Amino acid sequence: MKVQDIKSQIDVSKHDIGIVHIGLGAFHRAHQAVYVEQTLAVHGGDWMIASANIRSNYSLVEQMHAAQHCYHVVEYADTSHANLREIKAIKNTFFCGSDEGREALLAQMSAPATKIVTLTVTEKGYYLSPSTGELLLDAPEIQHDMASPSQPKTALGLILESLKQRRAKGLAAFTVLSCDNMPHNGARAKGAVVALAKTQDDEFAQWIESNVAFPNSMVDRIVPAVSEQDLAMIKADTGITEPTAVKCEQFSQWVIEDNFPAGRPQWESAGVQMVADVSSYEMMKLRMLNGSHSLLAYLGSIAGLKTVADAMQDKKIRAFLEHYMMQEVAPTLPSFDPTELSTYCQQLLARFENDSLQHQLKQIAMDGSQKLPQRWLSGLTELQAKTLAAPGIELGIAGWMAFLCNAEQNQQSINDPLEGVLFELVTRYRGDSVSLVASLLQRNDIFPAALATNEALLSRLVHLLDDLLAGVKVQSLMEKIYQQA
């Protein structure tokens, strides 16, 4: 194993905290924190990060404290080459599961030095209906934050309460930067925060709309959840034994709309693309990369495969993904030249083949109801409006439905906010695939109305679901699609 050791170049004592991050997961530590680390090394400044977990993984916060917030990111090119990067950009960590932790985080968010609040809380952390974008006012956590706004449990509530405190102190608002995989993530974050504010104080909601910037951003780096197997691999390859280590691919991209009234780090020096409008980049990435990942997650799992790299060893699966990206996604991305899309497609296929990541398909499969609208369904609606076929996406939807059936039968959680509802439908219509598909399509919190009322689509999905549940080989269904194209 050839490992390039990259030591941190920053003196932590010389930089104060300027960024608060909510969602101290592997992705944050391998993406935003790495960019901030590189920016501080070149330009300095008070842009260190304070990171927080809201409700889960207290042990990670403890481990970060024990390590004095220094950890390593292992960036694998393949199983023979990696960079070992030391990271010191995170200066403090909080856990909000206790009153003390929540108060400490709110104090940091409302401190004069805090200029930016970044988020990686996944789609469900915004409490928005995937299909309508409306705030889910009935969600228990949102109900709690409406009733007890000074003791928030959600990222939205924390942002509101800290903005309220800043305003009372006469401090300028911070910028809220979503780093989650959603189209228009900044606009959605703003919509969620403002909607929650309106339940408390209409005038305050208007102040937020006028004074708080919510730039959109697009993030891209494959960072699997860290397993015990990963930690053993990192130890074998690098000698690093810390529980806070993260592994990822070497590729990394961050595109951000340049709207930071309170100031920002000079991220460009670390390779961040600061742009006026991020929408075309995020659409390309969501539909091509994330959409392909979801196809692999459901169809690959049904085929008995465990990881992305395992699935990519199968020539039929690889050809199917290429068909999906170039025949079903490319027509929905008119702002890109076909050669650009072809190049990006080939880059993605090569990244998916990286056998060092062990990216688990079951991890990607979680939260499907929250992911499918932006990864597949918005594109499918566009294709149908143009009377273009999308057999690959339709096979993916049938794969998701089969995944629900298998998970319910095996009593395996799908870690989805709609798990109870979806499993209830599967139980009710077991053996009646027409009613099951129809009832799932009628879920207007997942599927757009244009799809729910499409009888031809319903018929095709029923046939595909029946084939999958009957054990027809996934690769045969894929081959049929790309050979007929």
Residue 57 pLDDT grade (very low, low, confident, very high; cuts 50, 70, 90): confident
Read off the tokens for 335. 């702002």
Alpha helix locations (H) across 264-314? 279-285, 291-295, 301-302, 308-312
Q: What pLDDT sits at residue 130?
A: 83
- pLDDT tens per residue, range 402-455: 999 999 999 999 999 999 999 999 999 999 999 999 999 999 999 999 999 999
Q: Please, what is the end-to-end C-alpha distance for the chain in angstroms?
A: 42
Please report, to the nearest 10 degrees, the dihedral formed by the alpha carbons of residues 270, 337, 27, 252 taken in order.
Answer: -40
Q: What pLDDT sits at residue 343?
A: 96
Angle in degrees, 0-180, between the axes of helices 315-323 and 474-484, rounded to the nearest 10: 50
CA gap 254, 264 in Å, rounded: 15
Q: In what order do the strands lie in the sheet containing 48-53?
A: 90-95, 48-53, 17-22, 116-119, 175-178
CA gap 160, 149 in Å, rounded: 8
Answer yes or no: are the C-beta atoms of 145 and 195 closer than 8 Å: no
CA gap 74, 1 in Å, rounded: 12
Q: What pLDDT sits at residue 485?
A: 80
- pLDDT tens per residue, range 353-403: 998 988 999 999 999 999 999 999 999 999 999 999 999 999 999 999 999
Q: What pLDDT sits at residue 131?
A: 79
CA gap 300, 312 in Å, rounded: 9
Residue 44 pLDDT grade (very low, low, confident, very high; cuts 50, 70, 90): very high
Q: What pLDDT sits at residue 358?
A: 87
Answer yes or no: are the C-beta atoms of 446 and 431 closer than 8 Å: no
- pLDDT tens per residue, range 255-280: 999 999 999 999 999 999 999 999 99
- pLDDT tens per residue, range 223-240: 998 999 999 999 999 999
Q: pTM above the 0.85 mark?
A: yes
Residues whose CB falls within 8 Å of the CB of residue 165, separated by 6 or more in sequence, listed in order = 106, 109, 110
- pLDDT tens per residue, range 322-350: 999 999 999 999 999 999 999 999 999 99
Question: Closest Cα to residue 475, out of 313, 298, 320, 297?
Answer: 320
pLDDT over 90 at 150, yes or no:
yes
**CB burial string 424-455: b at 16+ within 10 A, e below:** ebbeebeeebeebbbbbbebebbbbeebbebe
Burial class (CB in 10 A: 0-12, 13-18, 19+), 199: middle
Answer yes or no: are the C-beta atoms of 379 and 396 closer than 8 Å: no
CA gap 117, 178 in Å, rounded: 8
Burial class (CB in 10 A: 0-12, 13-18, 19+), 325: buried
Chain mean position to CA 475 = 27
pLDDT over 90 at 151, yes or no:
yes
Please state whether beta strands 217-220 and 253-257 pair in parallel, antiparallel, or not at all (unpaired).
antiparallel
Could you tell me what percent of the chain has a pLDDT over 70?
Answer: 100
Burial class (CB in 10 A: 0-12, 13-18, 19+), 168: exposed
- Residue carrying the six token digits 């129809």: 438
Mean of pLDDT values over 178-201: 96
- pLDDT tens per residue, range 309-318: 999 999 999 9
- Residue carrying the six token digits 């689509």: 457
Question: Closest Cα to residue 272, out of 375, 175, 177?
Answer: 177
